[in-house]
Structure 1
Amino acid sequence: MAQKNPLLQTFEHAPFSKIKTEHFKPAIEEAIHLAKNEIQEIVSSSEAPSFSNTIEALEFAGSQLDRITSIFFNLNSAETNDEIQKLAQEISPVLTDFKNDIIQNADLFERVKKVYDQKDELELTVEQNTLLDKKYKMFTRNGANLNDEDKKQLRDLDKKLAALSLSFGENVLAETNRYELHITDEKDLEGLPKGARSAAKMLAKEKNKEGWIFNLHYPSYLPFMKYAKNRSLRKEMAIAFGAKGFHNDQYDNRENVLQIVKLRHQKAKLLGYPTYAHFKLEERMAETPEKVNSFMQELLEKAKPAAKEEFGELEKFAIELEGIDRLQKWDAAYFGEKLKQKLFDLDDEQLKPYFEINNVIHGVFAVSERLYGLKFKEVFDVDTYHPEVKTYEVSDENGKEIALFYADFHPREGKRGGAWMTSYKSQYFKDEKNERPHISIVCNFTKPTEDEPSLLTFNEVTTLFHEFGHALHGMLANTIYPSISGTNVFWDFVELPSQVLENWCYEKEALELFARHYETGEIIPDELVKKIKESATFHEGMATLRQLSFGMLDMSWHSIDPSEIENVKEHEEKAFAPTRLFPEVEENCMSTSFAHIFQGGYAAGYYSYKWAEVLDADAFEHFSEKGIFDRETAQKFRDTILSQGGTEHPLTLYKRFRGKEAAPEALLRRAGLLPKKS
């Protein structure tokens, strides 16, 4: 089998076209077997434990398995099907077992502990010290000090959690794919721009239906909610979107939510922590649930008065404009857009012609070249998992290889919603060679139609810059060890490189590099750039409250003992109470589709978006003071943040860049909640 299985051959790029679904399981089983042999070599070594023969050897053990599983789980997110999902349910517990076999290997831990106990005499580099700490904690935070009975219980908990998380995500994807709003009367399209209509007509055509189809994928859903005049249809769409996993059928996620939070709590208690949040936050900048809650409370107090004022203004505007009785959730985007047009004479339809997707891709490349001297060359001989995926060779000013970059931009049925960055190969240094990374971003942007190319909303433009910021963090990595390379940093630090890059989308000097009208080639007028900048703080109080509500919901699930919670919806309503502006929608429940915390890695970590916003606002103020394309500042950001990965504590790295800690004032100034610096 090894001779025929492409995953078990030596490959530089993931050999997508050669891989069949049936290759994964035997390849993973064989790679686990090889990894176990590598672990056994470490354990059975007759030499005294050293940093080299134990810690470094452990770091690189199982590297083939890492590459194979990265391909598999990335496909399960970006190009999945029933077969792959079924296989994921089989493979996940096997991988969990393997991980636990390592963590609960007493002989291996004994060797690691011996090295750890003598670390003060070893004269290690900063990066080596970090790796040693990380490996030691990998054992202690995963039960190495537990008795055999508790180790078995922990193993069972991990297996159950892995399976539940997969089920949760599969249900959300199934719910997203099964709903469609089929419109046959053109009157129901009133208010919708040409691009949204064309995309809906194309979707109907693909399904051999007359009329127009809208669904719950963002490029279809968001324009409908923002522009459709028919309020009852907006309500139907909003309720469908908010009720994913909340239908009391085979895709209902309520039991999954309750099981996940209860098992996580059991795991934390078993490991000696009061709650799951205490366990997770030990390895975060924020450190404790108390500090997270205090941070969110401080922002809430600053933002809530502004949010209430904004809400009142919006409701008054909506009542005057269309005579509605009360502002509801399905009105927010629609009337918000109308008010924004009135106040700033600006809407997405004015901007979209300047943001044709290829121009925006060129733009993010051009910004990266101005900042970091990077060059991007599209290549067509790299294997991809779907014809829509683009590939680029990334090099520096001297032509030296930096990374391979994959980009996948449009929604498909086999792709989960949202946008994310991932990797197929980490950067690391071994055998005197700096192995360069293979980085990917996956998005769900507006598709081209029969009438026009893919024209992005401004929100999609900032999303592309956001994900590319993560990609730069991965591409510019320059560390020795893969587990602390690139985006392998504390969770509340990982959003800094992504969020800081969004700032360039609002700057005239950056927009002029790429924002050209797709038909005339005209550079975006100064007047529009001015309006983008002026409208950037529009309803920022409400937006801040919304983001805080998600963070508070997350903490409400993970910073308490959830064993008494029986009703997911009731619990959620209590968590949302301090941030609520809109009337509650009985049919909706966010938790049942909150994939970030129940499928992704953001459990007890959703606050990190706001935490990183504090960092990014403070960092960008520094860029602004020096000039947004100042190479010296950019080089410093690259040297102290982007290239360093998790080699040191993020606060140390940030202070090295900025010369001080970040404070919330820069964020509040940017949000218009505090006066600007004079």
Structure 2
Amino acid sequence: MTESPGGNAVKMPKRNHRLIAVTGAAALLALAVNLGITAFNSHRNNRKKKDLQGSKVRVTLSASEILKLADRVISKSKEVHDAVASVPLDKVTYMNVISPLAELEAQQFPLVQSCLFPKMVSTSDDVRKASAEAERRIDAHVLTCSMREDVYRVVKAFATRGEWVNAEAKHYTQALMRDFERNGLNLTLTKREEMQRVRVQIDELSLRYIQNLQEDCSFLVFTEIELAGVPQEFLKSLDKAENGKLKVTLKSHHVAAVLELCEVGTTRKMVAVEYGKRCGEVNLSILEDLVHLRHKFARLLGYSNYADYAVGLRMAKTPAKVFEFLEDISNSLADSATMELSLLKDLKKKEEGDYPFGVEDLLYYVKKAEEQQFNFDFGALKQYFPVNLVLSGVFKIVQDLFGLRFVEITDAEVWHSDVSAYSVFDLSSGELLGHFYLDMYTREEKYSHTCVVALQNGALSSNGSRQIPVALLISQVQKDVSGHPALLRFSEVVNLFHEFGHVVQHICNRASFSKFSGLGFDPDFVEVPAQVLENWCYESFSLKLISGFHQDITKPIKDEMCKAIKRWRYSFSALKMKQEILYSLLPQISALLFVKVFSTKSYILLKMLT
């Protein structure tokens, strides 16, 4: 898993049952009257807290209930797999082989997520530990199922017949076959057993790596002078150490604020260095072991390296295509990136003297250059984005774009008082399309990144009824300690639109199979809807809709500011793209460490980017 202090994409390890998290920001209450966001009838408000209509997700399980549910999920899964495996090869049909597996996946995914997502949001240490233990048990079971040769033989027998119900069912069957064979079911028994041992090690190390980062409570202490430039509301939100200094945690929302706003170069450098070193001693050895194990895993499957295995399902198909693509883009950006970097170095020299320019300076001086170039202050701009107003604008824009209606569920069962829940309806037909939860504000022990989690995938059952999608949007907005409405930085506004794109994508998905309804099934496409929705952040009409001075929301940002924001979007685009290329390149490099060619062309490309 990669973490980014700037709120870039964060993805959980991909398994059919696991949490699927993607980039972003968050959402909360909308302005119901102005934007047509409907409240439930008053008689519903008097009922007891309840689960959402059509949702199998359980959001307030105790530690013991989580473990019991995980065991029931595993037991039911084993029962269905045993039944499918017992079908004689000459009597296989869609209804006795494929349909039971598809139904199991659809029905169990929300139950699995009920066990797993509490580790991201619960305030109870016991619940988080139980959730992690449930994940371990379910992971082990899913791995066992993925290696069941008896089930593979039956599915293969049906696939060989070619008696497809429809094109989507054919695609689902082929996906099952692909998953089995990528787990080695078409290999010899000796190789399969070795693969299983390696896979167990990979899963255990991956989970340990993630848990180490999530549980890291490291912090640095600074005086207010050492944090000069950081807004007062941020400083007020920081805990104090025994010596009276302020604690800056190494969570991404703290790190991003310091790297972007702090005027003191030594402070920025200390935070950047320590952020990069988090869990370094323990996680570096884990990472080294993972690289070796992944290479071994890929070789057992017949691939030359793990990059070949990982890219095989993507549009690029081969690592060579990935490197060629990245190199072409990098070369085309070279001159522009050099000029942009020179400008930032000059700014630092004027402000701090002859100190070398480091990665810790990038966010701060890009922001300073943009403020000078476009003549606006990002701190002042923040005053125009009260969180409730921004969210109401998002609801309105999405409603008009996609023909949706949002209804806040005031009596929904939630795991924290900060959490709100919404139903989403088709505006024209009134059909219930899905639900989503919004867990917006930062708190202790909460997952430290903004993301969207699929809690229940949409699916069409064999009896014709449709299971509706349920999503969770997690964000890290700081509550205003003075009691005023929370204000969003413009980058947080963009993130909010991005995340809402994932929510809409998930809820509007009409696939028949749960496997195809999830956010991460098609990794080449998953970010497209979110990135498309971001475009509305830069148009004047939408900027005016989502903005209003926090002391008088009837005063949106001015036309000149809207135009400046649109121009600002493309500032330092070469350097920003170089950074994205580097993020794309590093996983490929780690997967190619065993290939001799890495020491030449790949190394040169990496040096070009850095």
TM-score (norm 2): 0.85
Amino acid of the structure 1 residue aligned with 2:222: I
Cα distance, 1:209 vs structure 2: 7.6
Provide the residue aligned with 1:414 in structure 2: 445
Matched, 1:229 2:263: yes
Cα distance, 1:86 vs structure 2: 4.6
Q: What aligned pairs does 1:69-88 form with structure 2 within 5 A after superposition?
A: 69-79=112-122, 83=126, 86-87=129-130
- 2:449 touches 2:475 (CA, 8 Å); kept in 1? yes
- 1:378 touches 1:391 (CA, 8 Å); kept in 2? yes
Provide the residue aligned with 2:253 in structure 1: 219
Q: Structure 1 regions of 5+ residues with no counterpart?
A: 1-8, 566-571, 584-678
Hey, what's the Cα distance between the residues in 1 that align with 2:55 and 2:411?
A: 10
Matched, 1:260 2:290: yes
Change (3 A) 1:296 1:574: closer
Hey, what's the Cα distance between the residues in 1 that align with 2:192 and 2:127?
A: 30
Matched, 1:109 2:109: no
Amino acid of the structure 2 residue aligned with 1:192: V
Deviations 1:521-579 (A, max 9, x none): 212211111111111111111111111111111100113428999xxxxxx99977645
Provide the residue aligned with 1:608 in structure 2: none
Provide the residue aligned with 2:43 in structure 1: none
Matched, 1:536 2:569: yes
Cα distance, 1:440 vs structure 2: 1.2
- 2:109 touches 2:455 (CA, 8 Å); kept in 1? no
Provide the residue aligned with 2:20 in structure 1: none
Provide the residue aligned with 2:591 in structure 1: 558
Moved more, 262-271 or 326-335: 326-335
Hey, what's the Cα distance between the residues in 1 that align with 2:187 and 2:135?
A: 23
- 1:92 touches 1:162 (CA, 8 Å); kept in 2? no
Matched, 1:41 2:83: yes
Matched, 1:355 2:385: yes
- 2:253 touches 2:448 (CA, 8 Å); kept in 1? no
1:97 to 140, 144, 147: 140
Change (3 A) 1:454 1:325: same
Provide the residue aligned with 1:300 in structure 2: 330
Provide the residue aligned with 1:118 in structure 2: 161
Q: What aligned pairs does 1:452-491 form with structure 2 within 5 A after superposition?
A: 452-491=484-523
- 1:411 touches 1:444 (CA, 8 Å); kept in 2? yes
- 1:475 touches 1:486 (CA, 8 Å); kept in 2? no
Amino acid of the structure 1 residue aligned with 2:262: A
How many positions carry a matched residue from both structures? Answer: 556
The residue matched to 1:444 in structure 2 has which SS?
strand
Hey, what's the Cα distance between the residues in 1 that align with 2:333 and 2:501?
A: 27
Cα distance, 1:329 vs structure 2: 2.1
Change (3 A) 1:40 1:491: same
Hey, what's the Cα distance between the residues in 2 that align with 1:579 and 1:509?
A: 41
Moved more, 412-421 or 533-542: 412-421
Hey, what's the Cα distance between the residues in 2 that align with 1:347 and 1:58?
A: 56
Provide the residue aligned with 2:176 in structure 1: 135
Cα distance, 1:201 vs structure 2: 2.1
Cα distance, 1:455 vs structure 2: 0.9
Bigger relative contact order, structure 1 or 2, given CA contacts below 8 A and separation 6+? 2
Deviations 1:476-512 (A, max 9, x none): 0112111111424321211111111111111112222
- 1:173 touches 1:416 (CA, 8 Å); kept in 2? yes
Cα distance, 1:88 vs structure 2: 5.5
Change (3 A) 1:544 1:339: same
Amino acid of the structure 1 residue aligned with 2:225: K
Q: What aligned pairs does 1:598-677 form with structure 2 within 5 A after superposition?
A: none
- 2:57 touches 2:111 (CA, 8 Å); kept in 1? no
The residue matched to 1:203 in structure 2 has which SS?
coil
Hey, what's the Cα distance between the residues in 2 that align with 1:214 and 1:108?
A: 52
- 1:190 touches 1:229 (CA, 8 Å); kept in 2? yes
Amino acid of the structure 1 residue aligned with 2:391: I
Deviations 1:302-335 (A, max 9, x none): 1222111110111012212332332122222222
- 2:233 touches 2:480 (CA, 8 Å); kept in 1? no
- 1:379 touches 1:393 (CA, 8 Å); kept in 2? yes
Matched, 1:204 2:239: yes
The residue matched to 1:173 in structure 2 has which SS?
helix
Moved more, 346-355 or 494-503: 346-355
Deviations 1:61-110 (A, max 9, x none): 25554222212222223337654565456444533432233233233212
Hey, what's the Cα distance between the residues in 2 that align with 1:360 and 1:447?
A: 15
- 2:106 touches 2:514 (CA, 8 Å); kept in 1? no
Change (3 A) 1:64 1:130: closer
Provide the residue aligned with 2:229 in structure 1: 191
Amino acid of the structure 1 residue aligned with 2:588: M
Q: Structure 2 regions of 5+ residues with no counterpart?
A: 1-50
Change (3 A) 1:310 1:117: same
Amino acid of the structure 1 residue aligned with 2:145: I
Q: What aligned pairs does 1:167-182 form with structure 2 within 5 A after superposition?
A: 167-175=208-216, 178-182=217-221
- 1:545 touches 1:579 (CA, 8 Å); kept in 2? no
Hey, what's the Cα distance between the residues in 2 that align with 1:511 and 1:289?
A: 40
Amino acid of the structure 2 residue aligned with 1:221: V
Amino acid of the structure 2 residue aligned with 1:75: P
The residue matched to 2:481 in structure 1 has which SS?
coil
- 1:112 touches 1:136 (CA, 8 Å); kept in 2? yes
Provide the residue aligned with 1:613 in structure 2: none
